[in-house]
A and B are shown apart, each in its own frame.
Chain A
Amino acid sequence: EVQLVESGGGLVQPGGSLRLSCAASGFTFSTYWMHWVRQAPGKGLVWVSRINSYGSTTGYADSVKGRFTISRDNAKNTVYMQMNSLRAEDTAVYYCARDGPGSLPDYWGQGTLVTVSS
């Protein structure tokens, strides 16, 4: 059974940093691209970033480019999101998702809440 478990969310002040983790199990992690998608309170889904299976190719939404960095450790079956220079508008539930058919997310984690506030 595919499982994705996010952690690392919490309350952070504007301008601060946070690192999210997503532990994967139930599939061969090292062969899949991975995504991060976020959802602000009461709002829709917004794609944030993706990384290829080797960790050598990444992509970002314009809204986070230069502030967020996605990475992975295939030995630990874990994908990360380093978030710097956080803003109030980054407040959201952050979901980790596996890449599936059509280069789109298929399996999703339960999410971790990031709140940026003073």
Chain B
Amino acid sequence: QSVLTQPPSVSAAPGQKVTISCSGSSSNIGNNYVSWYQQLPGTAPKLLIYENNKRPSGIPDRFSGSKSGTSGTLGITGLQTGDEADYYCGTWDSSLTAVVFGGGTKLTVL
């Protein structure tokens, strides 16, 4: 059971928009930054969003992040088949003194 809760799967058609939620608590998301990672099949995770809503160089603006209270959200617009991947949220947990991740969300682009 992961400390952060994500939906197991989401799906949408090419060109559409999807959001992925990440729910935590005051000891983690509520008082710390959220990062989002994309893991394409058979590859290592890649940073998509850091500090709740910032994109590293090279990440298209189709990817966005937000945080409200103890939840974070990843948004992806203009879906492409190449976006099919597992997406993970992560944050620091001040009570556990550990990095914690969500269980991951599998995105299917129909």
Residues of A in contact with B (beta carbons under 8 Å apart): 35, 37, 44-47, 50, 59, 61, 95, 100-111
Contacts and interface: CB of A to CB of B under 8 A. Distances in A.
Given A35-B99, A102-B33, A105-B99, A45 B104 contact: yes
B102 interface: yes
30 contacts: A37-B101, A44-B2, A44-B103, A46-B101, A47-B90, A47-B99, A59-B97, A59-B98, A61-B98, A95-B44, A101-B50, A101-B51, A102-B33, A102-B34, A102-B51, A102-B91, A102-B92, A103-B33, A103-B92, A104-B50, A104-B90, A104-B91, A104-B99, A105-B35, A105-B37, A105-B47, A106-B56, A108-B44, A110-B44, A111-B44
A47 B101 contact: yes
Contacts of B30: none
Contacts of A108: 44-47
Interface of B: 2, 32-35, 37, 39, 43-47, 50-51, 54, 56, 86, 88, 90-92, 97-104
B45 A95 contact: yes
User: Chain B: interface secondary structure?
Assistant: strand
A106 B44 CA distance: 12
From A45, A103, A106, A111, name the one whose CB has the most chain B CB atoms within 10 angstroms. A45
A111 B99 CA distance: 18
Contacts of A110: 43-44
Contact of B50 (A37, A47, A95, A102): A102
A110 B100 CA distance: 20
A101 B44 contact: no
Nearest to B56: A106
A100 B2 contact: no
Contacts of A44: 2, 86, 88, 101-104
Contacts of B104: 44-45
A22 to B, nearest CB: 12
Contacts of B37: 45, 105
